[in-house]
Every structure is written in C-alpha cells, then in structure tokens.
Structure 1
Amino acid sequence: MAELDTAHMAKLRWRCRRGTTELDRLLNRFLDDDQAGYACLDAAGREVFDQLLSIEDDRLIDWLLKGEPAGEPSLEKISRRIRAASGL
C-alpha cells in the first residue's frame, strides 16, 4: 500500500466535516481504518468516495446511518463499505 499524501488526506478530512457529529465520526473512522477503509480503496474506489463527499448530508444520513439504498451501484458499494468499517 502506497503512503497516502498528507495534504490530500487533510483535504479529505476537511470534506468529511459534515452537518452532524454522527456523519463526521462515521466518515473519519473510514478514513482512519487502515484495514478496511480509505487506504484500501483502489483509484476507482477513491473517486467514488470523492463523489460521495459531494452528496448532501440528508442523503448521506439515509445511506450511511439508516442503511437505505443509494440507488447507484458504485455509491451503494462505498456506502456499504463505510458502514461495515464502522460496524453498522
């Protein structure tokens, strides 16, 4: 696994700051999980995670906290992965 760029990770961490503490914790836990989190994603997975961070909080709450389907397969896959990394 290649070393992740510190500046890139800082930008991601900033983008993971959301409107709710629950989303903040969930997304940051995924960033910090070296076994099943962001560091384990391939380039395509990282692009989808970046796309996910562009989604409004209400939808993220539905997908990540409530477990509702995301509708798009790639977003559904990353949502399940984030939930699994947090034990949900």
Structure 2
Amino acid sequence: MRRKRLRYRAWHRGTREMDLVLGPFADAHVESYDSPALDRLEALMDEPDTDLLKWVMGQEPVPSHVDAELLAFVIADHQKRVGQ
C-alpha cells in the first residue's frame, strides 16, 4: 500500500513538470526499494514542487537538509529518459 501511495503522489504532484520527473522514477524504482529507501524518497517528495523543480533544473543549489544523493539519482534517471 505504501508503494502504491508513493507512486500516486509522484504522478499527482501539482505541477506537471514534477509529475514527469518523479512519476516515471517512482514507477521504475519504488517496487525494489526497501523501507529506508522509501523513507528517503518520501522525505524528498515532501519538498515543495517549486523548490524541487529549481533543484532539478539546476537553478538553485540543493540545500543541506535535502538528500542530494537521491536527488542526483532522480535527476540522472530523468535525463536518461528524456535523452539528455
């Protein structure tokens, strides 16, 4: 149930841009994540879309409280999908 909720949250963020970043990522990775990894993803998804989008686009540095390693993995996954 937790994984299903996370996938739903990833696809229904409030901004289409973040839906397209987090939705495919969640579809591809959530099923293989253990509980600590799901905790990390949930914490990242708790950040506001406006901030996440700025970090994904490289418009602002990632603050120290954010899991930069996971965010970098999300960004790399997205870039691979869109062919950048």
Q: TM-score by structure 1 length? A: 0.71
**For structure 2, which runs of at least 5 residues remain unmatched after alignment?**
none
Cα 1:72–1:46 change in 2 (3 A) is farther
Shift of 1:29: 0.9
Question: Which of 3, 6, 23 is equivalent to 1:9?
Answer: 3
Shift of 1:39: 4.1
Amino acid at match of 1:24: D
Say what the alpha-carbon RMSD is for the aligned residues: 2.1
Aligned length: 78
**For structure 1, which runs of at least 5 residues remain unmatched after alignment?**
1-6
Amino acid at match of 1:27: L
Cα 1:50–1:62 change in 2 (3 A) is same
Shift of 1:44: 3.0
- Preserved contact between residue 25 and residue 78 of structure 2 (Cα < 8 Å): yes
> What residue is the counterpart of 1:19 in the other structure?
14
Q: Is 1:46 aligned to 2:32, yes or no? A: no
Question: Which of 56, 68, 76 is equivalent to 1:84?
Answer: 76
| % same residue | 26
Q: Secondary structure at the match of 1:86?
A: helix
Q: TM-score by structure 2 length? A: 0.73
